[in-house]
Structure 1
Amino acid sequence: MSNSDAARTALLTEDHLARTSEKRHPPRTPRDAASLILLDRSGKVPRALLGKRGKAHAFMPDLYVFPGGRRDPGDNRAPLARPLRDEVLDKLLAKTKARFRDHAARGLAVAAAREMMEEAHLSLTPSEYANALRPDVSHFRFLARAITPPGQSRRFDTRFFACFCDELGLDPSTVRDSEELHDLTWLPINAHESHPLPRITKVILTDLVQALEDDPSLPFGKTVPFYYFRNGRFVRELI
């Protein structure tokens, strides 16, 4: 592990221990979830869409996060306008249990697209399928995976997808606040200290900056960092 990777996992461990020092919640099984990092690359520095969670949220209140949420049962059955790339699907199936199959991986992509619509009013469904949930996920890259450690009020096994607005013909100016996320904001991926972000979100953005420096096109089959808690500390594994 490089020094920068070690620093990221150390910060995640420190953050987790600080938040569970006074109140530790009973064990919970992580629920599958997905987030979509939507990128506007029209300027010199790419910007990512984030929104603020309300004070009433039990998980990460008052923090800016990527649109996303848990995978619903219906997401696995939802049709796709265009499917995930094979190399993305293969990465999603890695490091999973035997019962996690293609339909579950596709369901995660649907969940990310559905949450983007519900939380930011941006539809990823092509116009020929208007008034339906039938997203085009062919431009989704699998960027990162992170499992919330034990002791938190909620636990998720989150897959972070990324794609560019122009690939889907989306206008960044058309985003609108929702009950789930407000103050939707396009933040430069390398300059986001003006907004309070969860530690894991900062780490994922750091990974994104590095990935774009390596290749601005974000290759579909790139190596995926996987963050999880083991033996009292966070580890970073590559998929």
Structure 2
Amino acid sequence: MDLAAEPAADDKTRIRPAATVILLRDGASGPQVLMGMRGAAAAFMPSKFVFPGGAVDAVDADVPLAALPAPDCLRRLGQDAPGASALAAAAIRELWEETGLPLGLPGRWEAPQGWRGFAARGLVPDGSALRFVFRAITPPGRPRRFDARFFLADAARLAGDPEDFSAACDELSHLQWLPLEQARRLDLPFITEVVLAEVSALLANGEGSAGVPFFDNSGPVPTFRRLV
């Protein structure tokens, strides 16, 4: 589901859980990230370059994962609803819908609506391919608000060609692999700039012990803390 999908009128200011995938691969001159551009008419972040992602669907909580994220990711994700498994499933579904790229392992299952194209490839979503690296809540006053968890994933874990976007829907245009520094020069939302800087630091220095950055705009005063 698109982050800008039209909710009911009384839901427009509700903070909705969401998941985003920062997909990386090795390029000739260093790491590359997959980016796409939102439509000019989108209610949320129009004409901006973003990572694939969107709101958690109700069915995501019931989707079986072939494997779970690492224990430290589960602990950090499990501090709030909707839960680690649903967030991981939503991240994989959004990546599939918006890019046509599947993060999955071979297997058969009875897939609900929204997952049938993924399951038809003989794949079960692979949560172990995801690393939780960032969380941010959209500030008040925006047309849509999300509590977004950002996951890092290696394109080597894809069950397919990382250049094959033929199964993608039309939510993102100009899908392309870009060197990290080039991606940071695009027309980006502020939080995407921050996440790209964090990813660059992680790749250069490793994770460390400080935890996952969390930009919390749920209350009257913005706060920053780390999930440990």
TM-score (norm 1): 0.78
TM-score (norm 2): 0.81
Equivalent in 138, 142, 158 of residue 128 of structure 2: 138
> Equivalences for 1:1-239 in 2 at 5 Å?
28-94=13-79, 96=80, 100=81, 104-129=83-108, 130-131=119-120, 134-168=124-158, 170-176=160-166, 177-215=168-206, 223-229=211-217, 234-239=222-227
Contact 2:210 2:226 in 1 (8 A): no
How far residue 57 of structure 1 moved from its aligned partner, in angstroms, is 0.8
Unaligned runs of 5+ in 2: 1-10, 109-118
How far residue 235 of structure 1 moved from its aligned partner, in angstroms, is 3.2
1:237 counterpart SS class: strand
Identity of aligned residues (%): 39
Contact 2:107 2:123 in 1 (8 A): no
After alignment, is 180-189 or 154-163 more displaced?
180-189
How far residue 105 of structure 1 moved from its aligned partner, in angstroms, is 1.7
Unaligned runs of 5+ in 1: 1-25
2:137 corresponds to which letter in structure 1?
A: I
Whole-Å separation in 2 of the counterparts to 1:152 and 1:187: 28
How far residue 231 of structure 1 moved from its aligned partner, in angstroms, is 7.4
RMSD after superposition: 2.4
Task: Name the structure with the higher helix share.
Answer: 1
2:125 corresponds to which letter in structure 1?
A: P
1:20-54 deviations in Å (ceiling 9; x for gaps): xxxxxx98221000001110124332111111111
Equivalences, count: 205
2:170 corresponds to which letter in structure 1?
A: E
